[in-house]
Structures are given as structure tokens and as C-alpha cells.
Structure 1
Amino acid sequence: MSFIRTFHGDINPKTLGVTYSHEHIVCRPPYWVEKQAEDLLLDDKEKSKLDVLDFKQLGGQAIVDATAIDYGRDVKAVKEISDETGITIIGTAGFNKSFLWEAPVPEHVKAVIGNYQTFYEWIDATSINDLADVVIKEIEEGLEGTGIRGGQVKFGTGYNRITPLEEKTLRAVARAHHETKAPLHSHTEAGTMALEQIELLKSEGVNLEFISFGHMDRNPDPFYHEQVAKTGALLSFDGISKFKYAPESTRISCILELVDKGYERQILISGDTARKSYYKHYDHGLGLENILGKWVPRFIEEANQKGFDGEQLVDRFFIENPANCFSFKK
């Protein structure tokens, strides 16, 4: 029996619906607070909610909030947005990448992890199994002691490298996955190190069919994508709308190449909308509406031109694949 764990409890995967697979809704990352990087602080619940409503108006039904404990979650605000909009939200336990750990630990998080001054200090001083226990508790009892349980476990690594502490958190998250059966998600900085992560996950006995690798479109290399897909893992193309990294033609070409090779059931789509300047109602950006409103019609047209069934692929990427990816399979 499988289920998806949401901010409103466990649901049947068949009811998840149209899903963005990697977003950030309300958060104040301590690292960026310290750096006074205002653009990276999504700190207005009402503005975030307006973008979520735009997503809903276009047929959106669910969002995976990929904000981990080290990225300044506001669990209660996100829960309120879910309550007030009717959008299903999936929360995230685990970790992001190591440079974020230099930041001071917020006081309310110290109640969860102990009286450590920085995330780096905590992770360095804590055993793999004890880190895993924190992740397990967030899945089974609630994120940051709220009683709102997480629906996936996450780890991350840096650009073209995996530090010893990043390996430590990867192993902790793998062990939490084994204990809880929660789906896994990986942050790959600029789409790098997925294959190296895979080797570490294999050493922890992880079935790669239970993980999604984020930011694959940041490394638009079809050969590399195929090596990841061959493991059975899902690939998250979650930089849609970010033209500064690549034109949409590049992303669509990479996606359709995977489809042509038979991997259409292993593709997820989202925007990783984590800046005020990306949000419509914060700073006049393209907003959460852009993918469903503009990208999907373009994708369907391009896919159809190349002999694929664009509408069927959209259903796969936004409904069927998320329902499979984010399921707890006991």
C-alpha cells in the first residue's frame, strides 16, 4: 500500500493531481538573512499565497515545498496557505548544501537540534545515525516540532564536489529513508555530482527508483541525463522560467531526448521559485503561473511538432510521475 504525506495528512496518490515538484513558498534562509540578500527571503505569506492562487486558477493542485531545516522554513505559514487555498502541499525533512550551514541556527530550530550556534557545528558534532533520527522524527512526528509531518527526505551537495559533511548528511538521509520509506530528493548544485551521489546511495542500499535528482536542467547534457535515468531515478527539470541559465529550447530538447529514449516516466517539472524577483506578487516576476500558463502550451506544441503526444507527456510529468515519485511505498 502506498500513500503521499501532505500538510493535511496522508492521501491516496491518485488524488494528488497537477503538481509542481520543487518550489519554495515561505522561507527566510539564515545564510541569506546574514548576507542581507533580500531577494532570497520569501517572507510575506500573503504575497506567496497570491502566487499559489495563480497556480490554482490554472489548474494546479499540489506543490512540493522543498525547504529543509537549514533553509529557513516557515512551516505554519505554509500550512496556512495550504488551508486557505486548498492546494495540497508536501513538506521536506533533511538538509540542503553545506555552505548554508555557516549561518546561525534560529532559536526555534535549536529546540529541535540542540543548542548549537551554526548548522555546521551541529552536523559536524552529531553522528550519522543521530542526524538520521532528527530526519525520521520530522517525517513521523512533525517538521520542527509542529506536528505537520514531512513528505520527503532531502540532502544536497555542492558544485562539482561532495564535502565530508555533505556525505554525512546524505548517509543520514538514506538511513532515514530506510526507516520511514519516505521518498528521497537530491539537491545537485548546477546539476553536478548526481552520479557520485548515486554511488554513495548504493553503498547505503538505496533503491534509486525512490529518488528524484534536482536541477538536472542546470547541466543540459543528454548523455549525463541518460546515465542518471538508467538507474531508475527520476530527473527533476526544476529551472523552468530561468532563462539566465538556458533557453527553454534547451530544456525542452533535453526532456524530449529522454522521452525518445524511453524515460518519460522519470521526469518531473517545476520552477524552484526561490527569489522575490521570480515571484509575480513580490517583485513582478514570471511567478508560479508561468509554467502552467506559458511553458506547458509551448512544450505541447514543440512535442507535437516532433511526433510526440504533448498532452500525454504533460499528464505524465505533472500528474502520474509526481504521484509515483512522492509516494511512501511500504
Structure 2
Amino acid sequence: MSFIRTLHGDIKPEQLGFTYSHEHIVCRPPFWVEKGEDDLLLDDKEASLKDVLDFVHHGGQAIVDATAVDYGRDVQAVANIATEAGIHIVGTAGFNKSFLWDAAITPHLHEVIGGNFRTYKDWIEGSSINELTQYVVKEVEEGLEGTKFKGGQVKFGTAYNRITPLEEKTIRAIARAHHETKAPIHSHTEVGTMALEQIEILKSENVDVSYVSFGHMDRNPDSYYHEKIASMGSFLCFDGIAKIKYAPESTRIACILELVKKGYEKQILVSGDTARKTYYKHYGYGLGLEYIIAKWVPRFIDEANKAGFDGEKLVELFFVENPKRCFTFKG
């Protein structure tokens, strides 16, 4: 039986609806807390809720919260937002990237994982691959950080243009957790790099990479690279919408349409990775969670139609049909 696992239970894939595939809703990343980077702390549940309600007002139905354990999740707050906003939220088990792991482990997490680990690095370094695997499996099958709210995908991440030994360790743990749970896999690629190298490691763990979505593909606007990843059957997540400091929307849309031209339209996901107060409307007066569905989608439809495609059909694929397949537990 196929299903999608949300914070409030398993649903049929066709129930998911219009979906943002990579967001952060409420989190206080320990690394950024220690650095005093307030902009990167989404620490006001009510402000986050207002942005989610804006998304719902425009027809949004689901959000994949890609916040892993090392990024300071507030699982209960996000679960409450799902209830109050009346949407599906998919939670994330697993890990992010190595530079975040120097931060001290929070007391709450200490209670969950046990041991004498001071930092996330200590924990990952001091645990076997199989011990990390079982932690992730527990988050998928029992609940995130000891709560009753289960993870609906498993995640790993790597650094810019390199994969550290500890990151490889988490990739292998996630691969094994995927085999045990059948959960879909999400990859953080720093500035869109190292996806092909990640795939080599996953294949060495006998992972079918059609179960994997690769994040931040628009940070590396290289159509040849995108085609290489797509040709292996993986999903590509263009999740930097509205971040003009990295590239104009024309660049992102051109990369997406290039994949469509090559026949990979069924492997594209779109989202905003809205992880700063200044990106949120109700924290820092930013464009907010409503921007993609209310502003970017009409622009994309217009550009796609002018390029000879059916823009509305592509939007249905990117935000409904593709997420429905990507986030499904199969078998």
C-alpha cells in the first residue's frame, strides 16, 4: 500500500494537494543561536502561522517541512500550525550538513539520544552508522524527537563542493533507514553541488535514486548538470524562488523549462526554502509564503505558455502530481 506520512497521520497520495516541497516553519537552529544570527531563527509560532494561512488562502494544501534534528525543530509548534491552518505538513527525519554540527546539543535532545555527546558532531562521530540508522528509523516509525509526530521523509546533506567523512556516514545511515522504512529521501546540496557524488554513495548502498529529491538545484543553474541528475530518475527541487540575490527568476524558469524540453517535467519540484525572518511576511515584511502561489505561479504560466508549453499543466505537475509521487512510501 502506498501512502504519504504527515505529522497527523498517513494519507492517500491523492489527498496531498498543492504542495510546497521544501520549507522551514518554526525552528531555532542551535548553530545560529550560538552565532547570534536572529534572522535565521523562526521562533514565533504565531507569525509563522499567519504566513501559512496566507498560503492556504491562495489555495495551498500541503508543506514539506525540511527541518532536520540539527536545525532546531519545534515539532509540536509545527504540528499545531498544521491543525490550526487545516493543511498537511510532512516532517523530516535525518540530518543536515556538517558545518551546523559544531553546535551544542539541546537538553531535550540529550534526553532522546542519551550518551555523553556535547555537540552534534560528537554524536555523529561517536555513533556507528547502524546506531544513526536506528535513530532515524525511530523518528519515522515512532515520532520526531520523542513526540508522537512521525517523519515523512529522511534527509542528509553535504558541504559546498565536498563531502566530509561524517557527511558520508549520515548518507549511509539515511540510505539504510530508507531501506528499512521505505521513506522517501531528501538531499541538501550546498549551493547545488555534489549531487552526482551523493548518488554514487547512495548507489553503493543499493538505493533506487528515483526515491530521492535533490534540493537547491537552482543555486547551481547548470542545465547539463540538471539533466545528468534527472536522467537517473531523481527529483530536482528548485527551492530558491524569490531569492534574487542568488539569481533572477528568469534564470530559474529557464532551467526548469530546459528540463521540460528534455522530457523531465515529471521530476521537478518547486518551493521557497523560506528560512529567514526577512523572507517571511509576518516576521520581517518579506514576500512571505504566499509569494510563490500568488505571484510566481502566474508569471511561470505566462512564460511557459509563451515558450510553447501548457503552463497550467506544468504547475499542476510541479505542485500536485510530482509531490504526490515524490513523498510516497512505496511497498
User: TM-score normalised to the size of structure 1?
Assistant: 1.00
Match for residue 294 of structure 2? 293
1:143-196 CA-to-partner distances (Å, cap 9, x unmatched) read: 000011000000000000000000000000000000000000000000000000
Match for residue 30 of structure 1? 30
> What SS does the aligned partner of 2:55 have?
helix
Match for residue 277 of structure 2? 276
CA distance in 2, matches of 1:196, 1:29: 27
1:18-41 CA-to-partner distances (Å, cap 9, x unmatched) read: 000000000000000000000000
- The amino acid of 2:4's aligned partner reads I
Map 1:91-130 onto structure 2 (within 5 A). 91-114=91-114, 115-130=116-131
CA distance in 1, matches of 2:111, 2:182: 26
CA distance in 2, matches of 1:215, 1:118: 26
> What SS does the aligned partner of 1:328 have?
coil
Map 1:110-189 onto structure 2 (within 5 A). 110-114=110-114, 115-189=116-190
- Asked if 1:53 is matched to 2:53, the reply is yes
1:111 Cα deviation (Å)? 1.4
Match for residue 69 of structure 2? 69
Match for residue 2 of structure 2? 2
CA distance in 2, matches of 1:179, 1:38: 38
- The amino acid of 2:229's aligned partner reads V
1:204-224 CA-to-partner distances (Å, cap 9, x unmatched) read: 000011000000000000000
> Runs of 4 or more off by more than 4 Å in structure 1?
none
- Asked if 1:314 is matched to 2:315, the reply is yes
1:260-303 CA-to-partner distances (Å, cap 9, x unmatched) read: 00000000000000000000000000000000011000000000
- The amino acid of 1:247's aligned partner reads P
Map 1:165-314 onto structure 2 (within 5 A). 165-314=166-315
1:116 Cα deviation (Å)? 1.2
Paired residues in the alignment total: 330
- The amino acid of 1:50's aligned partner reads K
> What SS does the aligned partner of 2:151 have?
coil
Match for residue 79 of structure 1? 79
1:311 Cα deviation (Å)? 0.0
- The amino acid of 1:47's aligned partner reads A
Give the unaligned 5+ runs of structure 2.
Answer: none
- The amino acid of 1:308's aligned partner reads F
CA distance in 1, matches of 2:113, 2:253: 41
- The amino acid of 2:106's aligned partner reads P
CA distance in 2, matches of 1:294, 1:14: 25
CA distance in 2, matches of 1:150, 1:277: 27
1:105-144 CA-to-partner distances (Å, cap 9, x unmatched) read: 0000111222411000000010001100000000000000
Aligned residues: CA RMSD: 0.4
Q: Which moved more, 1:108-117 or 1:50-59?
A: 108-117
> What SS does the aligned partner of 1:54 have?
helix
Give the unaligned 5+ runs of structure 1.
Answer: none
